[in-house]
Amino acid sequence: MIDGAWTAQVAQNYDAASAGMYAPEVLDPAVDFLARCTAGRTALEFAIGTGRVALPLSARGIAVSGIEKSEPMAAQLRAKPGAEHVPVVIGDMTTTTVPGTFGLVYLVFNALTCLLTQAEQVQCFRNAAAHLQPGGVLVAETFVSQLQRLPPGETSRPFHVGIDHLGIDVYDVLNQRLTSFHYDVRAGKASTFQSPHRYL
């Protein structure tokens, strides 16, 4: 079961291409915040990916589980130190269930926007609620769409311009969607990646 965008090739490049999201000044405060949200209880990450956040959270002694649709992304996670403590179920986060209930369910790095309809996003919240203990916490981290910066008639906005990465969002405002186009150059090799999102 491979989500359209999250192929084996993308999974292989994911950590290097997401280096900015691994930077300590980005990742550490996110993990600190999520650790506080657990209040010593267990955590479940929807769309756990390669374990960018789940592994450091688990390393703090918090029991973390995950749901992930893309087997190649989960395979990258499983190959990392500490993965033996982070069980992952392959499936869709709108419907897949895992054993137990949790003090925290969280979705980070725009995972919620990977669900392309409002109905799927609502179903995802329902599934999260079904996994939460009484008093449990749901955290969703997403980008904020730049609609106010989109002049009438234009559909694209750069969201990152750098020497080794160019990112452009192309909006479909009627359907509340955008596609993020990434153009990367690393170690002299060029690659492209596109991911569709429904913004909130």
Ligand X SMILES: C[S@@+](CC[C@H](N)C(=O)[O-])C[C@H]1O[C@@H](n2cnc3c(N)ncnc32)[C@H](O)[C@@H]1O
- Residue in 73, 88, 105, 112 binding ligand X, rule: CB under 6 A: 73
Centroid of chain to Cα 17: 14
Cα 19-22-26 angle, rounded to 5 deg: 120
Residues 103 and 38: their CA atoms lie apart, in Å, by: 5
Q: How far is the CB of 104 from ligand X (least distance, A)?
A: 14
Q: How far is the CB of 113 from ligand X (least distance, A)?
A: 9
Signed CA dihedral, 110, 116, 118, 122: sign only: negative
* Pick 57 or 103: Cβ nearer ligand X: 57
Q: How far is the CB of 15 from ligand X (least distance, A)?
A: 8
Alpha helices, DSSP H, located in 48-170: 54-59, 71-78, 118-131
By rule CB under 6 A, what count of residues binds ligand X?
Answer: 21
Q: How far is the CB of 11 from ligand X (least distance, A)?
A: 8
* Pick 70 or 145: Cβ nearer ligand X: 70
- Residue in 49, 56, 103, 136 binding ligand X, rule: CB under 6 A: 49
Exposed / middle / buried, residue 69 (Cβ in 10 Å: 0-12, 13-18, 19+): buried
* Pick 119 or 154: Cβ nearer ligand X: 119
String marking each residue 86-125 x if it binds ligand X according to CB under 6 A: ------xxx-------------xxxx--xx----------
Beta bridge mates, 171: 178
* Pick 29 or 154: Cβ nearer ligand X: 29
Residues 127 and 109: their CA atoms lie apart, in Å, by: 19
Q: How far is the CB of 193 from ligand X (least distance, A)?
A: 10
* Residues 6+ positions from 154 with CB-CB distance below 8 Å: none
* Pick 73 or 171: Cβ nearer ligand X: 73
* Residues 6+ positions from 33 with CB-CB distance below 8 Å: 139
Does 68 bind ligand X (CB under 6 A)? Our answer is: yes
| Residues of this chain that bind ligand X (CB under 6 A) | 3, 6, 47-49, 52-53, 67-70, 73, 92-94, 108-111, 114-115
